Amino acid sequence: MNKTILVTGGCRSGKSKYALKLANSRPGKKFFLATAQPLDEEMAERIQKHRQERGKEWVTFEEPINLADVFKKLDDDPQSVLILDCLTLWISNLLMESTPKEKLLGYVNEWLDCCSRFKGTLICITNEVGAGIVPENPLGREFRDLAGEINQQVADRFDEVILTVSGVPVTIKTSAKSEDVAGQNDRINHEFSPAKKAGLYEAIYGRRDVRQFNPNPVPFEALEKILNAAHHAGSVGFMQPWNFIVIDDPEVKERVVQNFSEANEEASRHYSGDRKDLYSSLKLEGIREAPINICITCDRERSGPHVLGRNSVPDTDIFSTCCAVQNLWLAARAEGLGVGWVSILSMEKLKEVLAIPEEIVPVAYLCVGYTDHFLKQPLLEKVGWADRLPMNKLIYHNQWNENSKGFLQ
């Protein structure tokens, strides 16, 4: 299915790099239509450099004026990708040939028709030229105005518009069709569209352990969504060993607070001096304030005595339950809900309070609700309790070997 993407941005904002990355992530034939003309040595060198960067699998056309002619030479393979680099240079080439405005706009329309007939993915690069000062000479002003007008026209007709700023691509337009095609591409490449990826990583990096909640109630639909996300976690032998106890009764919560206070008192004995003072100053639970508490449990006998994949590592049922907790935590972040894991509890007493049967293991006690602030960094990092370890120092190559650290650098 045809898909048209406009990549726009300022000079050196990362447009071409992004367009190439996008194109290279697709499986089909790659075409590059360059509108630049090697008018001087510097330009010729640049063009040559870009050709080399693209690699041999790319077929390059150099055409400063008759874009429609090039489109006739492209094949009909829906998997093929064409990068047009760039629209503004084409406009400038036409202006330099003293093409009257009406004629120039006619060429643009003709080219737009070619774009909709093109069967593959078309990525067109353009420049945002209107953000700077007003050009001094009339030709410069004409160029700026025309480029702005044409960009608008193209953005209107194209399925997707991406703005690159300081190397960061921001999706500023998607259409139902583009989502459909993105879905299709997901199926071809198994890769998410940039917008979907951004959402996923935002949830991962923006997830926080939250201990401060506001009293806004958690809507039933949001609760259902996060529980369902938890229920879709991976589990050993598809055992799904979890249950969820949703708690909103203040009396039950009060008994859990009591449990926490005793466990916390005990835990604080492990610290002394400044560390103890710091520990005592930390808020380590939000049981009362959070409108909802959820206890996630693991039924270790859910699938009988033998579970596929659990023979050698019996604790994989507990690991599976932790996967459910993480799913809930991430989905909650996407829903704007904070989650705080409270493990400073006697699990025996918790079982008693929540009437959990003997054979069931409570894995996580979570406080859930809306919060007025998601911290940018973990609270324990912010107060100087611990730092995030450098990732590179945690990665070995092939074997547990100190010398192989730094593999990712």
The nearest distance, CB 366 to ligand FMN, in angstroms, is: 10
Among 341, 347, 361, 396, binds ligand FMN (CB under 6 A): 341
In the 8-state DSSP scheme, what is residue 32? E
Which residue from 354, 208, 366, 379 is spatially nearest to 286, judged by alpha carbons?
A: 366
Angle between helices 316-334 and 194-206 (to 10 degrees): 110
Of the pair 152, 377, the CB lying nearest ligand FMN is at 377
The nearest distance, CB 409 to ligand FMN, in angstroms, is: 24
Residues 185-214 binding ligand FMN (CB under 6 A) are 208-209, 211
In the 8-state DSSP scheme, what is residue 209? B
By the rule CB under 6 A, 380 interacts with ligand FMN: yes
Among 284, 323, 334, 347, binds ligand FMN (CB under 6 A): 284
| Three-state secondary-structure class, residue 4 | strand
Of the pair 19, 345, the CB lying nearest ligand FMN is at 345
Query: Judged by CB under 6 A, which stretch of 109-117, 234-242, 247-255, 337-345 contacts ligand FMN?
Result: 337-345
Of the pair 245, 379, the CB lying nearest ligand FMN is at 379
What token pair was written down for 383? 């107060």
The residue with tokens 């949703």 is 246
Which pairing describes strands 30-34 and 121-125: parallel, antiparallel, or unpaired?
unpaired
**Distance of alpha carbon 369 from alpha carbon 223, whole angstroms:** 10
Per the DSSP assignment, residues forming a β-bridge with 295 are: 245, 365
By the rule CB under 6 A, 54 interacts with ligand FMN: no
Of the pair 26, 208, the CB lying nearest ligand FMN is at 208
**Distance of alpha carbon 155 from alpha carbon 112, whole angstroms:** 11
8 A C-beta contact, residue 266 and residue 280: no
Of the pair 31, 329, the CB lying nearest ligand FMN is at 329
The nearest distance, CB 252 to ligand FMN, in angstroms, is: 18
By the rule CB under 6 A, 378 interacts with ligand FMN: yes
Residue nearest to ligand FMN according to CB distances in the complex: 378
**Distance of alpha carbon 11 from alpha carbon 228, whole angstroms:** 45
**Distance of alpha carbon 236 from alpha carbon 327, whole angstroms:** 16
By the rule CB under 6 A, 343 interacts with ligand FMN: yes
8 A C-beta contact, residue 280 and residue 362: no
Among 6, 7, 342, 350, binds ligand FMN (CB under 6 A): 342
Among 218, 328, 344, 367, binds ligand FMN (CB under 6 A): 344
Query: Judged by CB under 6 A, which stretch of 58-66, 142-150, 212-220, 342-350 contacts ligand FMN?
Result: 342-350
In the 8-state DSSP scheme, what is residue 309? T
Given the rule CB under 6 A, which residues bind ligand FMN? Answer: 208-209, 211, 284-285, 341-344, 378, 380
